[in-house]
Structures are given as C-alpha cells and as structure tokens.
Structure 1
Amino acid sequence: MKPHSHILVIRFSAMGDVAMTVPVLQRLVKTYPHLKITVLTKPFFKPIFEEVPGVNIVTADVKQKYKGIFGLWKLARELKLLQLDAVADLHNVLRTKILRFFLFFFGIKSAVINKGRAEKKDLTKLAPKIIKPLKTTHQRYADVFAKLALPIDLNSPITADKHSLPQLLKTQLKDYRKWIGIAPFAAHKPKMYPLSKTEEVIAQLDASGQYDILLFGGGKKEKQQLDQMASRYQNVYSMVGKLSFKEELQTVSNLDVMLSMDSGNGHLASIFNIPVITIWGATHPYAGFAPFQQAPKYQLLPDLEKYPLVPTSIYGNKEIEGYEDLMESISFVEILNIINHLLEKNE
C-alpha cells in the first residue's frame, strides 16, 4: 500500500472482538501516520473506535437500514464514494463477505482475517487432548494489515490517557482510594465464576475500607443482581443503567485494576493499559482471546489436573458432563491475593 492510501477496516461485533482491534489500530496509526483509515462498525461500538486517534468512523445498522443483500449493496455504493484503496476485513462472516464482493465489483481489493478455525477445533477436542498456545486474535488482526503491505509491531509502546470521570461518579468515588472494576458476568455459564464466590471477593475488598469497587454488566437481570449486591456494601457501586456506554469507557480508563471473566470488559480495560485479571472456565487463553499484553500469571484457570479436558470450547457455549463445577476449583483467596499484589505494585 502507498503511504497515503485509504483503507476500510470492518468489524461489526462482538464487543470483546471489537475492543481487541483497538491496540492493533493504534499501532497501525502510529506506524503509518499518513495512512487514511475508515472503520466500519455498528453504531453502539463507535465509542470504542474513538480511542484510536485520527480514524474516521462509519456506522451501519445492518439489521435495519442496511439489512439483507439489497441493504449491503446500498452500503457498498455509499462506501465506494469514500474512494477506498483497500479493505481489511477483521470479521469475515457472511455479511462482510457479501460486502467485500460488492466492493471488489467496484475494483477495491481486500484482505481478510484467518480465524484459525481448524486449529481451534483441535484445541477443544476432548481426545486426544493437545494443549498449545495458538496465534492471538491481535496478531491475526495484524496479519490482515501485513497482507496489505502494512506490517506493524504489536510490541510498539502506546500511551493510554485517562478520560475525565463522569460527573455522577465524581460525587461518589474517593480520589484517595484505589478503584477496582469487577465484571462478574459472561455470555455463557461455563465461563462465569459463581456469583457467590465473586461476592466473597467483594466482601473482603469492601471490608478493608481501602477501595471503591465498581460493578459492570448489562441487561435487566444483571442490573437487578448487581444493584442488590452493591446495596449490601458500603464501598460498592453498580454501574449498570447509570452511565452511557461512552461514560462506562471513561470510567474504565480510571480503574486501577479490572477483574473480568473471559468477556468484553477485560478487553476494554486493556485498551487503557489497566491490569486485568481474567477468570477462565471452559475456555482457555491459549485460544488467543486473552486481553492485550496481560501477564499469563493473571489468567486464572480451573484445576487442570481435575479438569484436564479444558478448554472444552472456544466461546464457552458447551458444557460437558462432570465439568459443571469447574469454576469452583478457582480459589477466591487466590483472586484477592492477585488484586492486592497488583494494587501494591501500582502504588
């Protein structure tokens, strides 16, 4: 690609995968300052891509305005007007394949992510079990740009600035305390730490009187559960339903540490170089979905001697017999020790 080329980067969902594009794009911008970059995504995810300086963001509601073949044709015609030189498809699903075909019809070439489906299938096979680290999703994204002759170094340092704290929280949180984010939910039960054990962590942290604990989640049921949990403690606050998504990102940028499942919140925190502790259940960081440049010692796994078939799935949507309680094998004391270690380290 020429230094002044214009590329379209496509990633519609999901939140964690979208968040993982940010450190890659930040380094792309830094490496090629004259490259023009337009990101195509869903409207909800716009605040995430606003963390990448200088990119143009185009949002498309692919379930309404741009629904179906004719909607994607309309979108392709609108994108053609941007005078694109190439497309980097970081999603590679049916919708983006159709869109790429239409853009190819207009003479715009593309490069697409290799998701490594075969090797991920091998990793989650129950027998024979071969555990080895696969290429990270961040590197898979970077490989797409390398195909467009835009190689990047993911180890290139990037400064992540804190945002101003939303006004609502300025009146609640104490500046002299450390702020701990906890995101206790996941899309699937096999990768979610039991809420009762998460609450044991919260109770111990609250009792110390040294921290403000912020709970993150989404949806009506999660809101109810986290509101009830927060009401039982003096220094615990549920963020659900109180902030816009942009304000949530601003809040996350001010955390001292984030405790998350294998879910999007850990990836959001890593955008801002926040230390992230990730609790893994049926999934495994070797599949390539660990938060960006977080130390392996902060990736907490079940007892692999007791549960040797982990990972049993890539997305945590498969539960196998005898593995229903695998998360119980992760000690809440171990989680507390790591949180305290990280907070002491950052003093």
Structure 2
Amino acid sequence: MIVPVLRELLEQNPTVEIVFVSRKNFADLFKEIPRIIFKGVDLDDYKGFFGMRRLSKELRTQFNPDYVADLHNVIRTKILDRIFTRKGFDVAVIDKGKEEKEHLTDVWNLDKAPLKHTTERYADVFRELGFSLTLSHKYRPERVEKSGIGFAPFAQHEGKMLPLDKSFEIAKKVAETKKIYFFGGGKNEVDILEKWASQIPNSENLAGNLTLTEELKKISSLEMMVSMDSANMHLASLVGTRCISIWGSTHPFAGFLGYGQNENDVVQVKDLTCRPCSVFGDKPCYRGDWACLEEINLQQIMDKINA
C-alpha cells in the first residue's frame, strides 16, 4: 500500500529522491518508479539493537539522507528512529491509529465508523516532514486490452478466507463464461489450486509458477481480480485492475481497502454487529461460527462479477 503513495509523492515533488529500505523480496514492487533507490536487507543480518545500529550506520554512510520517514513503527524501526534522532536527523513516524482500531474491533461497539485510510497515514508522515502531498485515491490501469479473471482464494488468516468449498463453486461458475486464473503461494495452496485446475475446465493455476514481476504483469492484463482481504487485492491496485474483494472478520472501515478500489465491489455481511472483530483477521471467532464468512451468499459475489 506504500507504493502508490511514494509514486504520487515523487510526481508532486520532482526534486525528491527516496531510499526505500525493506526486505529484499519486495524489490520488484518499486523498480518501475523513477527516483527510488531500493535497499533490500535480510533482517537476519541485523538482529537486535546492535544490528539496527549497524544498519543505521550503513544508511548514513551510503546515502546520508536529509529526512527519515518511519512507515512501519515497530520495535526495529523505533530503534532506528532513536539513533537517527540522536544524530540530528529529522524523523517522522506513522501513526497507526492503534486506539481507534481497538475501539473499532470491540465487539461491544455498536457505533462503528470508517477510520483514515492507511495510505493517508503514510502520506501524513511525509506531510509532517514538510512535503506537499495530495493523494488521488485512484489506481492506474497499465493496459487497455484485458481478458480473463484472476482468483486468489487464500489469505494469511482463517478470519479473512472464504470456506474453500464456496471458493471452488465460485471458480466453477466463473469458468463457465470466462477463463479463470488461480493465484496463491506456498506448497499447500499450490497443491489445492493444481487440483482445482484439473477439475475445472477453462481454468489455469499460476500459483508457484510466476515471479512477482510476472505475477504483476499477468494481473495487469486481467479484466478483474476476485480476492480475499489479502495481498492480491493490493497487487491488483498497483497495476490498475478492478478487484472484487471478500471480507470476513476484517472490514474496509479499518483503512485497508485496496488503493483506488471501489467500495461497491466489496462483498461482506453487513448486519453482523461483531464485525470487524480484528484488524488483520488473526483472532478466533467471537461467536464460534464464522458467520461473517459462512453467511456470504455466493450469488452476492457472482452479481458483483457479472456487473
């Protein structure tokens, strides 16, 4: 979700250059954006306080930045913030809205309201450093000609994932009229999607077969993605592809809807007062029945796709 913010920041501030520090495997997300230097790190090489101190020294020696923007606000980056501050650097840190989100996910809170979008929280960090930044909240299609539908039926946590039998039925129905491509990762997901592809005509499993760059290119060519509240929704936003997103124990109110995606393309059970019970979908079901996922009507999803 940081990528479109950086892209628009650089467009609106043409003299700015960004050194982006993150895990090595995210490099492909940034390589098409001019004036971003991606420094990939293996965090196992920078363990503890002394590891962070060594990383900060490397960054100061190699890049000597004018400002430090902490877009993560976790223990590691807090150590870095403190070191940079003591060295006299201007440091700004993201406000994740922790208390607001705790209130939002309180099952006894019956007056739920949308919070600030996460991309605006990222943008606020740069605004605090003195940069002008107005987000468009629009994604940008990379291709004019599009065909086929992508389907990413998995998510990191149970609370964000439609039961697989329902997802299988959706895939079968979609494949009656459109070529469907399966996306996922990890051996278990690959094995399941390979089995689905063998059982559903007009389908193809791409899980485990593409690099991140190749995956982005393929998603950019699709008419739409169908995804849980997961990374694939955000990948679709990066390449300008519409996404029908399915939400269970989480909720767009927490600020994580894909950048530029339309709230009308969200599929969710709206009349459950316990939703959302979690920001990330990692908590056990308060009711014990996962009604937020079990009560989703498959026709709801098909209506969104067909529209």
- Tell me the TM-score range normalised by the shorter chain: over 0.9
Cα pair 1:143 1:151 within 8 Å, conserved? no
- Residue identity matched to 1:252: I
Q: Secondary structure at 1:207's aligned position in 2? A: coil
Cα pair 1:26 1:158 within 8 Å, conserved? no
Distance 1:238 1:95 in 2: 37
1:155-202 Cα offsets, whole Å, 9 max, x none, are: 176745349xxxxxxxxxxx9x82211111111112111111111111
Distance 1:137 1:52 in 2: 20
> How many pairs align?
305
Task: Report the equivalent of 1:107.
Answer: 88
Distance 2:242 2:131 in 1: 29
Distance 1:295 1:243 in 2: 27
**Selected match of 1:43 from 8, 17, 24:** 24
Distance 2:290 2:142 in 1: 41
Matched, 1:327 2:293: yes
Task: Report the equivalent of 1:344.
Answer: none
Q: Secondary structure at 1:127's aligned position in 2? A: coil
Task: Report the equivalent of 1:143.
Answer: 124
**Selected match of 1:311 from 276, 282, 286:** 276
Task: Report the equivalent of 2:223.
Answer: 256
Matched, 1:296 2:263: yes
Q: Structure 2 matches for 1:1-347, cutoff 5 A?
A: 20-63=1-44, 65-81=45-61, 82-155=63-136, 159-162=140-143, 178-208=147-177, 211-302=178-269, 304-305=270-271, 307-318=272-283, 319-341=285-307
Distance 1:128 1:25 in 2: 35
Q: Name the TM-score, length of structure 1 as normaliser.
A: 0.84
Cα pair 1:27 1:158 within 8 Å, conserved? no
1:119, CA displacement in angstroms?
Answer: 0.6
Q: Secondary structure at 1:38's aligned position in 2? A: strand
1:34, CA displacement in angstroms?
Answer: 1.1
1:253, CA displacement in angstroms?
Answer: 1.7
Identity over aligned pairs, percent:
39
Cα pair 1:194 1:327 within 8 Å, conserved? yes
1:236, CA displacement in angstroms?
Answer: 1.1
Runs of 4 or more off by more than 3 Å in structure 1? 156-160
1:153, CA displacement in angstroms?
Answer: 1.2
Q: Secondary structure at 1:69's aligned position in 2? A: helix
| Unpaired stretches in structure 1, ≥5 consecutive residues | 1-19, 164-174, 342-347
Distance 2:262 2:206 in 1: 27
Distance 1:246 1:128 in 2: 42
Q: Secondary structure at 2:179's aligned position in 1? A: strand
Q: Secondary structure at 2:176's aligned position in 1? A: helix
Cα pair 1:80 1:106 within 8 Å, conserved? no
Q: Secondary structure at 1:125's aligned position in 2? A: coil
Q: Name the TM-score, length of structure 2 as normaliser.
A: 0.94
Distance 1:156 1:193, change over 3 A: closer
- Residue identity matched to 2:7: Q
1:218, CA displacement in angstroms?
Answer: 0.8
